[in-house]
Amino acid sequence: MRQRLRLGVTGIFLAVLTCNLNGQTDNDAAQKYAEAGQRALAAGQYTEAQSNFDQLAKLEPNIAEVHATLGLIHFKLRNYEAAVREINTAQKLKPGLPRLNSLLGMSLSELGRYNEALPGLQKGFHQSTDPEIKRMCGLQLMRAYTGLRKDDEAVKVALDLNRLYVNDPEVLYYTGKVYGNYAFLTISKLAQAAPNSLWRHLAAAEALESQGSYNDAISEYRAVLTIDPQQLGIHYRIGRTLLAQSHQSGAQANMEEARKEFEQELELDRHNGNAAYEIAEIYRRAGVFPQAQQYFERALQDYPDFEEAHLGLAAVYMAQQKPEQALPHLRTAINLNANDEVSWYRLAEVERSLGNKTEQQNALMQFRKLHQATLDQKTGRLMTSTNEVTKQELGPEVKE
């Protein structure tokens, strides 16, 4: 978290720090600088504000609010050393000035003085009733804990921030970095603690697969099976990796090898609906419809809300000219997820085959509304596990 956090502190601190300036001096020149400085600060003209408050501080060096306001100005100008100096002066003159501990903590954090920053940031985050101060202190507190390598504490703050500021993009960005860093450190500890363990090989395989290094990923998955041939899910992951290779290269041999891996997974775990689905999809794309139907039905027997399996089975029935049998599966898929264009297009085709022109037009209308949406924009898919499966897609037969 080395990037500077964009913290909008002016509106929060301005009223508190400057509301008592007026009337604290009988010096006309000092009053003039105070008023001009406040106007410049309110307008976001920080350099001009600094100039006025510097003059005011020379005329009235013992007014705490002047130094506090200079601390705020220096913070906004990213002069953090000066901000710390002015805030410390203000606190010596008037220890009870509100919110200065938070501003001091943020300034110290920006300087990388994380141990000194912690008390102010912890108080601001855990005790402040102002949502924006709590938010800013939380962001800086994550940064300080990360800098001090207190990664467990950083994650705790991240979880609290996500709960308090659900849709805040800056919070989501920085908490995501904290989670990613924590995951990396955890996997690094795994590699150091147990370099030859099943779990280290599994972590390496998943990382390599995500990077597209398919051959190396398969080697690591095979290493897992060497250690424990009964480990569930590994043949499935090898099959998925082989499918990815096949899609990249077009090699049909990889498809056949993948099917064998999925079958081995089913031998170990007969309730693995994802493996049954993948076998069915391979058969469907090869035009071997009886076997495809068998495995789609097997997946649905254990997981009746498996949307992709309903779509796949409907496609098998459509290919066999059995629209009446495809129809209920398409309706079920749409009930599970009404935002999938594949479901609506196949429904339109079935309704056309059945001679239902009105239903066909309604389905086509829904399809066209969704046709421009990307897969990343689709929501509500129900999966049988956290592992991804091959999606049902529109083929070249699509006619708008």
How much is the pLDDT for 386? 41
* DSSP codes of every residue in 67-118: HHHHHHHHHHTT-HHHHHHHHHHHHHH-TT-TTHHHHHHHHHHHTT-HHHHH
Nearest alpha carbon to residue 315 among 237, 212, 393: 393
CA distance 184 to 332: 41
Structure tokens at 293: 């139907």
Fold of 291-400: 1.25.40
Structure tokens at 388: 């991804």
Query: For each of the chain's 400 residues, which pLDDT tens digit applies?
Result: 433 333 344 444 554 444 455 555 557 888 899 889 888 988 889 999 999 999 999 998 999 989 999 999 999 999 999 999 999 999 999 998 888 999 999 999 999 999 999 999 999 999 999 899 999 999 999 999 999 999 999 999 999 999 999 999 999 999 999 998 888 888 888 889 999 999 999 999 998 898 889 999 999 999 999 999 999 999 999 999 999 998 887 777 789 999 999 999 999 999 999 999 999 999 999 999 999 999 999 999 999 999 999 999 999 999 999 999 999 999 999 999 998 899 999 999 999 999 999 999 999 999 988 876 554 454 444 333 445 788 887 766 565 5
Cα dist from 142 to 103, 121, 188, 394, whole Å: 16, 10, 21, 45
CB 156 within 8 A of CB 122: no
Pick one of 3.40.50.10420, 3.40.50.2300, 1.25.40.10, 3.40.50.300 as the CATH number of 10-189.
Answer: 1.25.40.10
Terminal Cα distance for the chain, rounded = 48
Delimit the CATH 1.25.40.10 region(s) of the chain.
10-189, 291-400
The residue type of 48 is E
Cα dist from 348 to 4, 375, 399, whole Å: 53, 20, 11
CA distance 231 to 239: 15
CA distance 39 to 18: 11
Q: Diameter of the chain by CA atoms?
A: 96
Nearest alpha carbon to residue 65 among 32, 91, 101: 91
How does pLDDT run across 192-249, given as a tens digit for each residue?
999 999 999 999 999 889 888 999 999 999 999 999 999 999 999 999 999 999 888 7
Would you call 353 exposed, middle or buried from its count of C-beta atoms within 10 A (0-12, 13-18, 19+)? middle
Structure tokens at 397: 């037969």
Residue 60: DSSP 8-state = -
Backbone φ and ψ of 131, nearest 5°: -60, -35
The residue type of 213 is S
HSE at residue 206, side-chain half, CA atoms within 13 A, is 11
CA distance 312 to 293: 8
CA distance 300 to 317: 15
Backbone conformation region of residue 250, classed left if phi is above 0, alpha if psi is from -120 to 50, else beta:
left
Q: Kindly report each contact of residues 81-84 with a partner whose C-beta sits within 8 Å and lies 24 or more positions away, as own/partner.
A: 81/111, 83/107, 84/108, 84/111
CB atoms near residue 267 (< 10 Å): 11
Nearest alpha carbon to residue 281 among 246, 229, 331, 249: 246
CA distance 395 to 393: 6
CB 67 within 8 A of CB 89: yes
HSE at residue 255, side-chain half, CA atoms within 13 A, is 16
